[in-house]
Chain A
Amino acid sequence: MSAAPKTASPEVPRVVDERVAKRSVIGQLMSRPEVGALVGAVAVFVFFSIVAPTFSQPTSIATVLYGASTIGIMVVGVSLLMIGGEFDLSTGVAVVSSALMASLFSWYFVTNVWVGVVVALILSLAIGCINGLILIRTKLPSFIVTLAMFLMLTGLNLALTRLIGGSVSSPSISEMDGFGAAKAVFASTIPVFGVPIRITVVYWILLVIIATHLLMRTRVGNWIFAVGGDQHAARAVGVPVVGTKIGLFMGVGFCAWLLGMHNLFAFNTVQSGEGVGNEFLYIIGAVIGGCLLTGGYGSAIGGAIGALIFGMASAGIVYAQWNPDWFKFFLGLMLLLATIVNMVVKKRAERSK
């Protein structure tokens, strides 16, 4: 990988170098990581609009967006992490850990639920930080480190929930102080032109904007591309590799907290066994959106489009009234097609430089 990080400050070079030569608009567009995913998203939307008449009505689109946002929020963090050259298998259960922490803490200590929310945020950031620290200290691949974290969190979710709450699901906290306000913040529905839009969709879009700005317009964004492209070269030119990687894992932790809070306040109790397997959905979303497993390449917008494709496909199969047995098959096929399209587009873009 030798994707040179884009510098943020547009300095006018005295000597015109071929590396900074102006490229055609089409060429620039085609070299964006998310272009393959965008083509895919339009195709999926048109396809399901034709086969399922109810798919394109406003209320259905709101449902699809909600479904996409519950994956997309995590995909933002996971995309950045993958651009930084690592990936995380503990994300699915980390969401549930965060929700359980908030509800069990406030229930056991009889506090306002907002105390639990803050404690859960600290826990989620700590999980990310621990993942990053172990990775840096041991030099083990992130696959192994986060797989271990995934198993440990799965066990902790089940064991601690039973130990503290005495049951397999967290006790109800809907009667506690602050629940109403927290529900309004994390799990409300906003009517937009008469269509009920879930607040997670708003958070998702906000996160994508923030992440895109971070990647494209800041020094930190350059660091992320650099550590994902070539860690040793990055370290040699003074990029804080350790801080960047730990920060990326903590970013994933933040996203897990946000989604965990939504799950808690939308449904008020949390099943301790849930979340297993969702980590792959987040990785799939990022990969469909053009992030490379090898790191150093990808975008937050691409990840968002990947999540949207996933949301459209999973909902579209239901709106089209197909047998849901086929869902996983189509998902696998879509993943394969999307990544092939991404590869082809990327190769062409590199040739047209």
Chain B
Amino acid sequence: MNQNSSWRRPLAAVLLVPLLTLAACSSSGGREVPAGDDAGTAGQTATTEAMKIGFVTHAVPGDTFWDIVRAGAEEAAAKDNVELVYASDPEGGRQARLVQQYIDQDVDGIAVTMAKPEAMKDVIAAAGAAGIPVVSLNAGEEKALEYGAFTHFGQDEAVAGEAAGTALEEAGVTHPICVIQEQGHVGLEARCAGIKSVLPDTENLYVQGTDMTQVAATATAELQSNSDADAIVGLGGPFTMTLLDAAKDTGADVQVASFDLNEELAGAIADGDVLFTIDQQPWLQGYMAVDSLWQNHRGGFELGGGVATLTGPSVIDSSNVEAVQQFAAEGVR
């Protein structure tokens, strides 16, 4: 018994210390304990008959951008007495099958992203044949109305790219690097092409967005080897933060700009580390898609007048970042 106690005490300590630390509260950070109702669901709910809307995106699971789109959609659904069913698949054929499944379930409206418009063509026609109204959002506006959506909520990526190019030009940039995190993504290519239309010396750099360490390594190598570059542009909040770190580490004399928005990026713009970001207001895309389908159900309305309804570009820089920071923290911007 006694000869065993030599190891028992340390063992007891090893087991007890974590338990004790669990009982101690952290004075900063961590989860915010909710107090009362969540924002957005505290308002009044429509008294119209319940309807069901299928919401199908090309999101890769676990993408923060799409959480914001979905949050907007959920809020509109809560307000409009809508049951929202959500599914996503990045592969065109499988995304089309998800839409087909909602048609099988006989939903009252379908909101769909059209990043791969050709893959969606037949299934949107099938929705039309079944008498289900369709709106598209985020991507594919050039084909959405032709294939049968009554409107599209999003930003024209080429226009957004030009807006970024103009803003970079005003900041005195001549030779930006545009970092594309997904090879084969039409929208991202259009953004960089838009920048290039304003600043002809723009260079594209391809990184693998699914692997942040690879993004950092590739950007660092590029900044070390490309002395002509005077700016680096990320096409999404998390990527820009990684590029910002890479730029700081290499000590390269480059300005940083971005597309889209998240809380950290808003902070970086407020701190002056990032010049600006081009926000397409994803929350609005989700919210308006659901709301316009509700309006269609409510009174046969078709918002948009037969063309796309633009949710961006809206430029966020040091002059207006204060106003959006709080909402970025809430996951709304």
CB distance from A333 to the nearest CB of B (A): 17
Q: How far is the CA of A272 from the CA of B119 in the complex (A)?
A: 13
CB distance from B87 to the nearest CB of A (A): 5
Q: Would you call A158 and B97 a contact (CB within 8 A)? A: no
Q: Would you call B93 and A263 a contact (CB within 8 A)? A: yes
Q: Count A-B pairs with CB separation below 8 Å.
A: 76
A321 contacts across to B, CB distance below 8 A: 85
Q: Would you call A168 and B97 a contact (CB within 8 A)? A: no
Q: How far is the CA of A275 from the CA of B116 in the complex (A)?
A: 14
Q: Would you call A319 and B101 a contact (CB within 8 A)? A: yes
Q: How far is the CA of A60 from the CA of B118 in the complex (A)?
A: 23
A343 contacts across to B, CB distance below 8 A: none
Q: Would you call A315 and B183 a contact (CB within 8 A)? A: no
Q: Does A48 contact B (CB under 8 A)?
A: no
A306-320 vs B, Cβ < 8 Å mask (1 yes, 0 no): 000000000100110
Given contacts A60-B101, A63-B104, contact A271 B189 (CB under 8 A): no
Q: Would you call B104 and A54 a contact (CB within 8 A)? A: yes
Q: Does B98 contact A (CB under 8 A)?
A: yes
B-facing residues in A250-279 (Cβ within 8 Å):
263, 266-269, 271-275, 278
Q: Does B18 contact A (CB under 8 A)?
A: no
B93 contacts across to A, CB distance below 8 A: 70, 263, 266-267
Q: Would you call B61 and A325 a contact (CB within 8 A)? A: yes
A274 contacts across to B, CB distance below 8 A: 91-92, 184
Q: How far is the CA of A352 from the CA of B119 in the complex (A)?
A: 51
B184 contacts across to A, CB distance below 8 A: 158, 168-169, 271-274
Q: How far is the CA of A141 from the CA of B244 in the complex (A)?
A: 42
Q: Which interface residue of B93, B98, B106, B185 has the most chain A CB atoms within 10 A?
A: B93
The chain B residue sitting closest to A262, CB to CB, is B93
Q: Would you call B183 and A318 a contact (CB within 8 A)? A: no
CB distance from A318 to the nearest CB of B (A): 5
The secondary structure that dominates the A interface is: helix
Q: How far is the CA of A214 from the CA of B120 in the complex (A)?
A: 38
A2 contacts across to B, CB distance below 8 A: none
B-facing residues in A164-188 (Cβ within 8 Å):
167-169, 172
The chain A residue sitting closest to B103, CB to CB, is A59
Q: Would you call A67 and B97 a contact (CB within 8 A)? A: yes
A-facing residues in B77-93 (Cβ within 8 Å):
85-88, 91-93
B183's contact among A158, A263, A267, A278, by CB below 8 Å, is which?
A158
The chain B residue sitting closest to A58, CB to CB, is B104
Q: Does A324 contact B (CB under 8 A)?
A: yes
Q: Does B197 contact A (CB under 8 A)?
A: no
B97 contacts across to A, CB distance below 8 A: 63, 66-67, 315
Q: Would you call A267 and B116 a contact (CB within 8 A)? A: yes
B88-129 vs A, Cβ < 8 Å mask (1 yes, 0 no): 100111101110111011100000000010110110000000
Q: Would you call A63 and B186 a contact (CB within 8 A)? A: no
Q: Would you call B183 and A63 a contact (CB within 8 A)? A: no
Q: Would you call A267 and B101 a contact (CB within 8 A)? A: no
Q: Would you call A318 and B118 a contact (CB within 8 A)? A: no
Q: Would you call A268 and B118 a contact (CB within 8 A)? A: yes
CB distance from A310 to the nearest CB of B (A): 12
A319's contact among B92, B104, B119, B122, by CB below 8 Å, is which?
B104
B186's contact among A70, A169, A328, by CB below 8 Å, is which?
A169
Given contacts A266-B93, A318-B98, contact A172 B118 (CB under 8 A): yes
B101 contacts across to A, CB distance below 8 A: 60, 63, 315, 318-319
Q: Would you call B104 and A168 a contact (CB within 8 A)? A: no
Q: How far is the CA of A168 from the CA of B93 in the complex (A)?
A: 17
The chain A residue sitting closest to B122, CB to CB, is A266
Which A residues lie at the B interface, using CB under 8 A? 54, 57, 59-60, 63, 66-67, 70, 158, 167-169, 172, 263, 266-269, 271-275, 278, 315, 318-319, 321, 323-325, 328
- Please provide the 8 A-B residue pairs with the shortest distance between their CB atoms, ordered closest to farther: A273-B184, A168-B184, A267-B119, A269-B118, A60-B104, A267-B118, A54-B105, A318-B101
* Besides the known contacts A267-B118, A324-B86, 11 further A-B residue pairs in the complex with CB atoms under 8 A apart: A54-B106, A169-B184, A267-B93, A273-B183, A273-B185, A274-B92, A278-B91, A315-B97, A318-B101, A324-B61, A324-B87
CB pairs A–B below 8 angstroms (17 shown): A57-B104, A60-B105, A63-B97, A63-B100, A66-B97, A67-B94, A67-B97, A168-B183, A172-B118, A269-B116, A269-B118, A271-B184, A275-B91, A319-B101, A319-B105, A321-B85, A328-B61
